[in-house]
Amino acid sequence: MNRIPLSFYIILFCFGNVFISYGQETSAMNKLKCSKYINDGIEKYNLGRTYDAFMLFKQANTVDPNSWKALYQLATTEYDLNNFSDAKQHIDEAISKASSKADGEVYFLAAKVYHNLNLIDQALTFYKKSKELLGDRTAKEFEIPSFISQCEFALNETKNGVKNLRKPLSVNTKYDEYGPIFIDKGRKFFFTARQPETTGGNLNPDDQIFFEDIYYAEKDSLSGEYVLVPELMEGINTEGFDALNYISRDGLYALGTLNTSASKEKTTQSSDLYEMTADDPGVFAGMEIIKSKTINTTFFEGAACITDSLYIDEDNFVQTLYFVSDKNATKKMTDIYSVEKKNGIFSEEIKLLPDVINTTGRETTPFVSGDGRFLFFSSDALPGMGGYDIYYSENVGGKWGAPINLGAAFNTVNDDTHFQYYPELNKAVLAGISENDGIFNYNVFEVDLTGLDLPFLK
């Protein structure tokens, strides 16, 4: 029998140690690279550059797939970018790899991801786990008790058999569509979107999504679907952010939001409110910024709507404009304000709506009934199902009542905004985040109000 010389084993042992040493060195280098990518990503994320942070966290995960911290940070940016399915995959992996090292913030992110995917039972479990690990004080700072209440609200709606009534409109794509507005008995349709053909082709550097433009469509008499008519918007959209918020029932007056501060035009310092008028319904000539320093400021102003004219006598009439601003941001997030427009001239005195409506969170996209009796808006801080929910408040004797959640018939666990309703059509429209071929983005919907027992329909 041939014997293997001792020298062979010595050589094999030495080379084996070299390979082990090289492997350990490579692993250590990858961990260092991963750590650097994570730190750079966190820096970008804290600057609001979410997409840039996402790419760095993705690189961190590539060089060290076993890093639970890289997976956690990657899931964080995916959640912010509404990539909920990918966020679920990566947060699940992070929890698995972290094992006992997973802290309350990791479980909190998992809870939010599951919440947005409408996996309510699992979300509730994760919220309670994160609350236990974080402690009551930090949990309160993270508003975890509110999230738990949202899950319980959603589960209760399901238990009561409430079914969502919204139906997607035919203009929805994989890009964001919101701000739906009907005129001409629903035959004409306006909305705002962030699509590649936006005027100027500009991208928002923070989320790498196109600037917004206003779109117009008409209902096809045969198919019943809306067909885009792009030529009607020529001369209206700018190279900045253009949004349409409100159109009067006769289609001759409109309100919107314009922000050109990030474009080469730079006609506004931030988001400003504008008016448009038309001789033919829906055929608007151009934007006129509202020249009022108390309405349009250096802060964000947007999402305007207005009541019908209330005639004092044959020579005098008054309307009330409602809009959103963050001018009170040192105390709150975004609030709803009102201002009178008498005989076509805006008052210099604006009013902050009461705390029963304006919370410490975000209120947005108000819509007021023509007679001023009902105000609809979205909030992310009032009791609801998750994200922004749609509420209404009734004005009785000049005082706004406690907001009422429209419930699961209209709302979901994700953001629901831009509600407007049309009694003459028995329809409402709204916008909300929903899944479209695996992508979660804003889409527009209509709701048939027939048979619903709601105060504003009586």
What is the C-alpha to C-alpha distance for residues 421 and 437, in angstroms, rounded to an integer? 28
Kindly state whether residues 323 and 363 are assigned to the same domain: yes
What is the C-alpha to C-alpha distance for residues 262 and 274, in angstroms, rounded to an integer? 18
- Eight-state DSSP code of residue 380: S
Q: What's the pLDDT score for residue 3?
A: 60
Parts of the chain with a pLDDT under 50:
8, 11-12, 18-19, 22
pLDDT digits (tens, 9 = 90+) for 171-181: 999 999 999 99
CATH number at residue 141: 1.25.40.10
Distance, C-alpha 252 to centroid of its chain: 29
Q: What's the pLDDT score for residue 4?
A: 61
Kindly state whether residues 370 and 407 are assigned to the same domain: yes
CATH number at residue 360: 2.115.10
Spatial contact of 182 and 189, defined as CB atoms under 8 Å apart:
yes
Kindly state whether residues 301 and 340 are assigned to the same domain: yes
What is the C-alpha to C-alpha distance for residues 137 and 145, in angstroms, rounded to an integer? 11
Kindly state whether residues 230 and 328 are assigned to the same domain: yes
Does residue 9 lie within any of the structural domains? Answer: no
Kindly state whether residues 151 and 177 are assigned to the same domain: no
Q: What's the pLDDT score for residue 262?
A: 85
Domain boundary among 159, 185, 218: 159
Kindly state whether residues 240 and 389 are assigned to the same domain: yes
What is the C-alpha to C-alpha distance for residues 365 and 444, in angstroms, rounded to an integer? 14
Does residue 371 lie within any of the structural domains? Answer: yes
Tokens of 22: 């090289």
Beta strands in 83-187 (DSSP E): 166-168, 176-183
What is the C-alpha to C-alpha distance for residues 171 and 176, in angstroms, rounded to an integer? 10
Q: Is the pTM of this model over 0.75?
A: yes
Does residue 435 lie within any of the structural domains? Answer: yes
**HSE value, Cβ hemisphere, 13 Å, CA-based, for 53:** 26
Q: What's the pLDDT score for residue 14?
A: 52
Torsion of CA 233, 239, 241, 243, to 10 degrees: -10
If phi > 0 it is left, if psi is from -120 to 50 it is alpha, else beta; for residue 384 that is: beta
What is the C-alpha to C-alpha distance for residues 390 and 380, in angstroms, rounded to an integer? 9
Kindly state whether residues 373 and 433 are assigned to the same domain: yes
Kindly state whether residues 177 and 118 are assigned to the same domain: no
Q: Domain range spanning residue 43?
A: 19-159
Residue 296 φ/ψ, nearest 5 degrees:
-90, 115
Kindly state whether residues 303 and 445 are assigned to the same domain: yes
Kindly state whether residues 292 and 339 are assigned to the same domain: yes
Spatial contact of 336 and 358, defined as CB atoms under 8 Å apart:
yes
Residue 150 φ/ψ, nearest 5 degrees:
-60, -45
